[in-house]
Structure 1
Amino acid sequence: MLKIIRERIRQGHRTGKFPKQEPTLPERFRGLPDFSPERCPVGCRDCQEACPTAAIRTEGRPPSLDLGRCLFCGDCARSCPHEALRFSRDYRLASRSRDGLLTGASEFQLATALDAKMKSLFGRSLKLRQVSAGGCNACEADVNVLGTLVFDLGRFGIQFVASPRHADGLLVTGAVTENMKSALLDTYAAIAAPKLVIAAGSCAISGGPFAGSPEVNNGIGDLLPVDLYIPGCPPHPYTTLDGLLRLLGRR
């Protein structure tokens, strides 16, 4: 017991100070894309052709990037000879609408809070049932990390529960395979209204790299009413946490 106490004192307080203090992210982290349209010549399609998920459109001016499709692989930035596109270190990516994930020259609009009635219901206590609807376990793993002592999701009154009967909403990952479609819909139906739906990761938002396959539904957009989109492949835990707090009006 004394050894355990000594080790606990040595380790100190491990929980991060977010949101009071901005997180420290690794150097290789890729956040919100930043276009410099003045550097992008008309007719250049290098970044669009390099994108594996057709997330970039260069036909319009300025070019646009769909965060809901983006895998944050960085191929577009590496292929651009004009350095018109780069990835910033801004982890704040969540949006309340699908159209809000389209980025260009205008400033990215961060997720807004629920309306007053919904915020009064869920603002201090939110229980979520997580459903992996055909994910690769990357998004699922980073959602699971939120329960560790570094992030400590429970200190914000947000918890993941085992039964949809105990949940206030769904957090869905994965491209929604045909084998998981009915299970997802049954889980949603089992949650009492009013309820929330959160799409986490590019697969849940758009199908990700599997979009167009006959075996997937290209995400949950046409199946369930989505209240929050959290892009990424996978979304960083701080991206997810920031989106949840903004949804509840805590940021």
Structure 2
Amino acid sequence: MWKVVKQIAKNGIRTEPLPLDTDAVLLEAGRIHQDLLAILGQALTIRMVDAGSCNGCELEINALGNPYYNIEGLGIKFVASPRHADLLLVTGPVSCNMAMALRRTYDATPDPKLVVAVGDCGCDGGLFGESYASLGPVSKVIAVDVTVPGCPPAPIEILRGILKAVQRRA
């Protein structure tokens, strides 16, 4: 226990500071929502796939559903089945055990399908890279339309990536 206390004393408290301009982030999130719905004219359904991540990106994706971003309130929904999805949101380096499952999920998604790779691991293998247990980036297994770098990326960056993918479809 003392080892942990010494490390805390040495490093200090490591937390993210509060955003200085929260109104600007909210306005941009609202604009992104409106742009998405103007392009689609309907709801967007997303299937999230964890291909072997550390769950950092999943926490940021879950933050999209909180009252601050409220993507569900504007017609963007997460679905359980890839057969109902318009877009795949994939996180993590693709582990060898998840490669076939990711490929099947991609094949089950109806055309025109969009794929967004989230986080450094999904974009280029990140910290894990390629090894005996990891195939590396998502693009080695399925076609990727947009990448959202960051470890983990902020929710607003994920929203921008989703908007960029939808704009490519339009």
TM-score, length basis structure 2: 0.73
Q: Relative to 1, partners in 2 of residues 1:20 and 1:152: Cα closer, same or farther, differing over 3 Å?
A: closer
The number of aligned residues is 139
Preserved contact between residue 48 and residue 78 of structure 2 (Cα < 8 Å): yes
Residue 237 of structure 1 is matched in structure 2 by 155
Indicate the larger mover: 122-131 or 139-148.
Answer: 122-131
Residue 192 of structure 1 is matched in structure 2 by 110
| Pairwise CA distance, 1:20 | 6.8
In structure 2, distance between residues paired with 1:207 and 1:124: 34
Q: Relative to 1, partners in 2 of residues 1:190 and 1:235: Cα closer, same or farther, differing over 3 Å?
A: same
What value does the CA root-mean-square deviation take over the aligned residues?
2.4
Residue 97 of structure 2 is matched in structure 1 by 179
Q: Relative to 1, partners in 2 of residues 1:21 and 1:162: Cα closer, same or farther, differing over 3 Å?
A: closer
In structure 1, distance between residues paired with 2:87 and 2:156: 20
In structure 1, distance between residues paired with 2:51 and 2:29: 33
In structure 2, distance between residues paired with 1:221 and 1:182: 14
Q: Relative to 1, partners in 2 of residues 1:123 and 1:19: Cα closer, same or farther, differing over 3 Å?
A: farther
In structure 2, distance between residues paired with 1:21 and 1:161: 22
| Pairwise CA distance, 1:218 | 0.9
In structure 2, distance between residues paired with 1:210 and 1:226: 19
Preserved contact between residue 134 and residue 174 of structure 1 (Cα < 8 Å): yes
Give the SS at the match of 1:18: helix
Indicate the larger mover: 219-228 or 194-203.
Answer: 219-228
| Pairwise CA distance, 1:123 | 5.6
In structure 2, distance between residues paired with 1:139 and 1:187: 19
Q: Deviations over 1:93-143 (max 9, x none)?
A: xxxxxxxxxxxxxxxxxxxx99xxxx96x4642111000000101001110
Gap runs ≥5 in structure 2: 1-24
Q: Relative to 1, partners in 2 of residues 1:155 and 1:186: Cα closer, same or farther, differing over 3 Å?
A: same
Residue 29 of structure 1 is matched in structure 2 by none
| Pairwise CA distance, 1:217 | 1.1
Gap runs ≥5 in structure 1: 1-15, 23-112
Q: Is 2:18 the counterpart of 1:18?
A: no
Residue 139 of structure 1 is matched in structure 2 by 57
Which amino acid in the other structure matches residue 190 of structure 1?
Answer: A
Q: Relative to 1, partners in 2 of residues 1:180 and 1:158: Cα closer, same or farther, differing over 3 Å?
A: same
Residue 170 of structure 1 is matched in structure 2 by 88
Preserved contact between residue 123 and residue 248 of structure 1 (Cα < 8 Å): no
| Pairwise CA distance, 1:156 | 3.8
Q: Relative to 1, partners in 2 of residues 1:220 and 1:20: Cα closer, same or farther, differing over 3 Å?
A: closer
Residue 124 of structure 2 is matched in structure 1 by 206
Indicate the larger mover: 191-200 or 215-224.
Answer: 215-224
